[in-house]
Structure 1
Amino acid sequence: MMEQSYGSNANVPNGSTIDKTRVLEVKPLRCLSPVFPSPNGMSSVSTPQPSPFVCITPNGPYPPGVTPFYPFVAQNESGRHGESSQQAANRGQNQGNFGFGTPINPAPVNSLKNATANGSNVHEGTGTGRKKGVAKKPRKSLENIVEVNVEPLLNQLLMSFRLVELDQAKRADGDKELVGRILMVFDLFRRRMTQMDEPRYGAGSGRRPDLKASKMMMTKGVRTNQMKRIGNVTGIEVGDIFFFRMELCLVGLHAPTMSGIDYMSVKLTKDEEPLAVSVVSAGGYEDDGGDGDMFIYTGQGGVQRKDGQMFDQKLEKGNLALEKSVHRANLVRVVRGVKDVANPTGKIYIYDGLYKIQESWEEKNKSGLNVFKYKFLRVPGQPEAFKLWKSIQQWRDGVTSRGGVILPDLTSGAESRPVGLVNDVDDEKGPAYFTYIPSLKYSKPFLMPRPSLGCPCLDGCQPDDSNCPCIQRNGGLLPYSSLGVLMSYKTLIHECGSACSCPPNCRNRMSQGGLKVHLEVFKTRNKGWGLRSWDPIRAGAFICEYAGEVIDAGNDIDDNYIFDATRVYEQPLEAVHDYNDESRKVPFPLVISAKNGGNVARFMNHSCSPNVYWQLVVRESNNEAYYHITFFAIRHIPPMQELTYDYGMNKVDHRRKRCLCGSLNCRGYFY
């Protein structure tokens, strides 16, 4: 450390040499200790005493309108209320004049803002790309947010779907109808909580309504297929998809919430031994996806510790169960996890059916640790599931061509996504001629009793903007999520109209942006032409609108391509409508003909157990209202599953047609 005392002149005059005798020891800069000023009467070279750091108070003058702030100034010059200058001097002398021991009156940092003559603050740009004069939006504070009690909402859903107090037999072993109701309640409850949380906590708050929904349902005993079994689970078909891991738990397809291996103890000899019943292959380990009928599964443990510690896998628990299943050759359910393209942070889980484990071995992984490997072979004769997903991806990538294609795009570019026309059933070359139009044609709009104000949302309607008139018309909540999912079911949804200032990609213009999934018109075996999707569709997702020409409701037209909103519909979600004192009937009778001109919706067939739901949407502009029929998914829909909705009931008997939907709830006819 340099011997020269603090504050002496360290500069070497020109032409002078350095007196090396004054250098006691030379150390790297990082080893030097700070040198503190010496109190009065103490030599700088004497034995050092503990000393505080120097706190030098900045001297004025401060700019006009600027208040001195902590930690640089005290309440007054003396530093203590009611203390004289002499008392302050004496206290400073006793304390070594280091500036400590003085109570400080902190002033808020915002007191440094430049003030105008009238005292108002002027917000400057912050260097973050925000326009000058625009204040940065403050981060939401969670301190004053009161948690909403959502249990009454869940109780209402359970009552609507007849899930209150499930008996033990149904909890142990379910069926397709019960599985559907449980999954429906879970997703409706989860979506509703998401809709309520977003304006209060903001997007990306880290809240998990899926976990909360499943926990509350399980606490109330709302789950099924709790009894573990080897083989298929009743009520779940090969190819069914799930967008949340907790859905697998609620319906008993795979019970563990985290572990990829589920097993049960079976007494095959005098001792019990574990056998695997299901696995989830979702990319957590170094698995080999295989060709769709075979894959290599890596055992659990050893390489997934959160603290980064890695070790050899052990032949215990799930790994031991898989090893036992190799020798017992029992069937194992397999769930494949794939990336959700629409939601980069999410996964889609595909039930791929039953497999057998052909062999097992131990090998070194990339980190040089021992892991167990298991070769799974798919049992033949099952419907395609994961293999179908791989085929669709090959069509997209151009690796293989889609068979039976008549037209690669029957819309001729009218839609943002191509819609193929496919027939791999017979030799028919296509439906009767029609003009493809992507939206509804009005000869004249419906008139409103009073003008409707458009929203001023230049960046799009935001869920926390309670002043947005479009949000107010929807009951104070945005009807759609950022993924385009309908969050709650209402008689009427108010979308932004032509008088609104929001851009075309506004969340409240969901049905105005065209098709969101890759659709295909295909020839069915016994129902003419139908509609299906290459993409998986999550429950509540927008599919398309019914395009055509609005006609008078009184016309008695024998038209197979017609949508009549005045019919009586048995809507599967009627029990969960949020009416908000609105009429259950359509505000204006809306009848649409798509015989001569329409879009893909004209090919959607009827079903008594549909997977698609129609929703009335209105777009207002001044004193004009334009009503549209839009379609949303009732439940998760796997790729290549036909899209259907209920055509409704009509009092005119001569329009009754034989129904060929084949569902368990088929009425036998439709109109």
Structure 2
Amino acid sequence: MGSSSMVPFQDLNLCPDLPTTSSTPLIPKIEPKLEPLDEPLTSPTPLHVSIPYPSSSPSPSPSSAAGGAGGGAGGGDAGLLSQYNRLGELFRSTMAQAQALQGNGDFSVLPDSDPDSRALVPVPDPEAHLSSVILRPRGARKYQTRSSELVRVMDLKPEDERYFRDLVRNTRMLFDSLRVFAIAEDDKHKDVMVPHRRPRADLKAAQVLRERGLWLNRDKRVVGDLPGVSIGDVFFFRMELCVIGLHGQAQAGIDYVPSSQSSNGEPIATSIIVSGGYEDDEDAGDVIVYTGHGGQDKHNRQVVHQKLECGNLALERSMNYGIEVRVIRGFKYEGSASGKVYVYDGLYRIIETWFDVGKSGFGVYKFKLVRIENQMEMGSTMMKFAAMLRTRPLEARPKGYVTLDLSRKKENFPVFFFNDIDGDHDPIYYEYLMTTVFPPYVYNCGSTTGCDCVGGCMDDCLCAMKNGGELAYDLNGILVRGKPLIFECGPHCRCPPTCRNRVTQKGVRNRFEVFRSRETGWGVRSLDLIQAGSFICEYAGVVLTREQAQIFTMNGDNLIYPGRFAERWKEWGNLTQIFSDYVCPAYPSIPPLDFAMDVSKMRNVACYMSHSSSPNVLVQLVLYDHNNLSFPHIMLFAMENIPPMRELSLDYGVAEEWTGKLAICN
């Protein structure tokens, strides 16, 4: 098709049928291959708040906003509450006008005239990439459209990989923080919301990020692996895939470059979602027979023949040019926030396509995809393997298990101990601790007053006031945002054990495995998928004063110093990129931690976590069984969605001269 006969680009999903003329060619209306298990996207329910958002102020630059919450003191009850109310009003004003987020299909194509279309392209400059993320002032409605330029990113240096990984990680953390906050706001106002209407907190979070220009990979279309996304990464929401640019369609299963933006008028597919919900799909893992889109009714039944157009044609053209596509698998998952999960499984090539009669008797296009070799193990495979380990560990791995419960039935779930590298069985010789052992005098300090919430705590109870006027967790036990200290309900409170403000004291909720690693020494991984913001476990040991610690150090004992853990809690719920005047929570405040924990004889699973400068676990200080501010519990929460079998890591911080080893077990 010559450029003179092309029509200006428009959203094909909304394009009316045009008469076919010599000057105006017919543009087919897209019938996206929808995921059958997805509910239709609807305008999200606005949040209800009483305090109006103040006049907007200039947004911070990305460079000043990146890397954690801003400093600053103050806050207090009123300051902390106003931050929540201002965010709530932002959601309300934004979502009142929000529409269902759908990918607009504004893609580009690799030119037909370029025989080496898969050649190496320069890696985008990180600073240039950051400068493309423009923080628009409140009220802006001009969204950054997706670029028509296709690139492939290759041969990244280690520092580049860390940069992109942190960029994706921070964006996902911001998405999760906004989503969790939206859920908490909905919970507070559920009595005035429309009955039986499920709030779409993921849409609210995505819309706010879109209005702030924080969706990633809009300035370039990446073919192949997306920098910062690893095979096996897990997502709970389709909108999160759109936010980071892994798959740009909110519901369509084929993400592709439409011909309307192509230099030669041919579409190119860049990613697909395989859900297993289509009757003619066949998924054997490394080999997929994928059914094209079109011809289905609202019940996902094939009722007419498919056509070689739109996404179907894009897949055929990708096969013709030898262009790989990203494959994301979606499937139901018990315990997921959305009822299902999406796992990035790597790159596939389309090697064959044909027109066939489907099970319903109508013609469908089929595409055979084969996974490219020498990639990491598929995330979906690891999730199935972990599921087998949870129920039949010795059948899944006959060799390597030293014990199937390192905790000796002290934890809610057994802690496996696996070592197939050497004969080191050291962890079985320590006494397992469920929780930290404090000196007796710690329990004789502070107030003994508790709340009177017989039926369960609300935001106006005494314990909520101690936390700055808001409970720290949503109804699902997810941390709303990190704070210097969290007060949970304790033995002096009248609320029941099911109270939402009793999260960390209930113990672990996941199955963990201590394992031997050639890279990190000892390590810990979960056999369950851990959702971002979820409680993991306590970092347990026997508490020592500074003076006692100095003596123990001289004896060569293994000590942990909570005061040196990096303050990663500031990153969870950090809204610097949303509010220019955001202040990191400073209430409740506590004195500097001046104690150590002896783990030389007694310890728990947390003591085997390895150190990382880009961890997936954060430390959150919590009080519940006493009120001595100088001796909080060291509680661990997930900073991101942690897939099964992925190693858990902490930022142990920088060791002082007297603290000894940085990480005791590595």
Deviations 1:85-129 (A, max 9, x none): xxxxxxxxxxxxxxxxxxxxxxxxxxxxxxxxxxxxxxxxxxxxx
Q: How many residue pairs end up in the alignment?
A: 518
Match of 2:475 among 473, 479, 482: 482
Deviations 1:346-390 (A, max 9, x none): 322111000012323344445443333322211111001222222
The reply to whether residue 213 of structure 1 matches residue 205 of structure 2 is yes
- Name the CA shift for 1:504/1:291 in 2 (closer, same or farther; >3 Å): farther
Supply the AA of the counterpart residue of 2:562.
A
Match of 1:521 among 509, 514, 519: 514
- Name the CA shift for 1:586/1:657 in 2 (closer, same or farther; >3 Å): same
Q: Which residue of 2 aligns with 1:439?
A: 435
Supply the AA of the counterpart residue of 1:401.
A
1:543 Cα deviation from its structure 2 partner = 0.6
Match of 1:325 among 311, 315, 318: 318
Asked whether the equivalents of residues 247 and 271 of structure 2 are also in contact (C-alpha less than 8 Å), the reply is yes
- Name the CA shift for 1:410/1:145 in 2 (closer, same or farther; >3 Å): closer
1:234 Cα deviation from its structure 2 partner = 1.7
Q: Secondary structure at the match of 2:427?
A: coil
The reply to whether residue 567 of structure 1 matches residue 472 of structure 2 is no
Q: Secondary structure at the match of 2:632?
A: strand
1:524 Cα deviation from its structure 2 partner = 1.0
Instruction: Determine the C-alpha separation between the residues in 2 that align with 1:658 and 1:406.
Output: 23
Which stretch of structure 1 is more off in the superposition, 146-155 or 194-203? Answer: 146-155
Q: Which residue of 1 aligns with 2:39?
A: none
Match of 2:365 among 366, 372, 376: 372
Asked whether the equivalents of residues 240 and 638 of structure 1 are also in contact (C-alpha less than 8 Å), the reply is yes
Q: Higher relative contact order at CA 8 Å, sep ≥6: structure 1 or structure 2? A: 2
Q: Which residue of 2 aligns with 1:168?
A: 132
Q: Secondary structure at the match of 2:221?
A: coil
Deviations 1:615-665 (A, max 9, x none): 10001568999731100111222221211112223431683659999xxxx
- Name the CA shift for 1:459/1:659 in 2 (closer, same or farther; >3 Å): closer
Asked whether the equivalents of residues 281 and 287 of structure 1 are also in contact (C-alpha less than 8 Å), the reply is no
Supply the AA of the counterpart residue of 2:560.
F
Which runs of structure 2 are paired with 1:247-286 in the superposition (5 Å)? 247-264=240-257, 271-286=264-279
Instruction: Determine the C-alpha separation between the residues in 2 that align with 1:255 and 1:458.
Output: 47
Match of 1:456 among 446, 452, 455: 452
Match of 2:217 among 218, 221, 225: 225
Match of 1:346 among 330, 339, 360: 339
Q: Which residue of 2 aligns with 1:188?
A: 177
Which runs of structure 2 are paired with 1:644-655 in the superposition (5 Å)? 644-652=649-657, 655=660
The reply to whether residue 303 of structure 1 matches residue 267 of structure 2 is no
Instruction: Determine the C-alpha separation between the residues in 1 that align with 2:649 and 2:597.
Output: 18
- Name the CA shift for 1:564/1:314 in 2 (closer, same or farther; >3 Å): same
The reply to whether residue 423 of structure 1 matches residue 423 of structure 2 is no
Supply the AA of the counterpart residue of 1:212.
K
Q: Secondary structure at the match of 1:247?
A: helix
Query: Given the two structures, how large is their TM-score scaled by the length of structure 2?
Result: 0.69
Q: Secondary structure at the match of 1:382?
A: coil
Supply the AA of the counterpart residue of 1:627.
P
Instruction: Determine the C-alpha separation between the residues in 2 that align with 1:187 and 1:194.
Output: 11
1:504 Cα deviation from its structure 2 partner = 2.4
- Name the CA shift for 1:657/1:564 in 2 (closer, same or farther; >3 Å): closer
**Structure 2: segments with no counterpart, 5+ residues:** 1-44, 69-126, 135-143, 152-162, 575-582
- Name the CA shift for 1:380/1:503 in 2 (closer, same or farther; >3 Å): same
Asked whether the equivalents of residues 604 and 645 of structure 1 are also in contact (C-alpha less than 8 Å), the reply is yes
- Name the CA shift for 1:287/1:616 in 2 (closer, same or farther; >3 Å): farther
Q: Which residue of 2 aligns with 1:407?
A: 403
Query: Given the two structures, how large is their TM-score scaled by the length of structure 1?
Result: 0.69
- Name the CA shift for 1:574/1:242 in 2 (closer, same or farther; >3 Å): closer
Which stretch of structure 1 is more off in the superposition, 287-296 or 249-258? Answer: 287-296
- Name the CA shift for 1:523/1:232 in 2 (closer, same or farther; >3 Å): same
Instruction: Determine the C-alpha separation between the residues in 2 that align with 1:157 and 1:495.
Output: 36
1:443 Cα deviation from its structure 2 partner = 2.9
Asked whether the equivalents of residues 266 and 273 of structure 1 are also in contact (C-alpha less than 8 Å), the reply is yes
- Name the CA shift for 1:644/1:563 in 2 (closer, same or farther; >3 Å): same
**Structure 1: segments with no counterpart, 5+ residues:** 1-140, 662-671
Structure 1 vs Structure 2 CA RMSD: 3.8
1:329 Cα deviation from its structure 2 partner = 3.2
- Name the CA shift for 1:619/1:276 in 2 (closer, same or farther; >3 Å): same
Instruction: Determine the C-alpha separation between the residues in 1 that align with 2:514 and 2:593.
Output: 31
Which runs of structure 2 are paired with 1:505-544 in the superposition (5 Å)? 505-544=498-537
1:415 Cα deviation from its structure 2 partner = 1.1
Q: Which residue of 2 aligns with 1:471?
A: 464
Match of 1:390 among 384, 388, 392: 384
Q: Which protein is bigger by CA-based radius of gyration?
A: 1
Instruction: Determine the C-alpha separation between the residues in 2 that align with 1:560 and 1:633.
Output: 29
1:152 Cα deviation from its structure 2 partner = 7.0
1:597 Cα deviation from its structure 2 partner = 1.2
1:166 Cα deviation from its structure 2 partner = 4.4
Q: Secondary structure at the match of 1:566?
A: helix
Supply the AA of the counterpart residue of 2:278.
Y
1:519 Cα deviation from its structure 2 partner = 0.7
Instruction: Determine the C-alpha separation between the residues in 2 that align with 1:629 and 1:143.
Output: 33
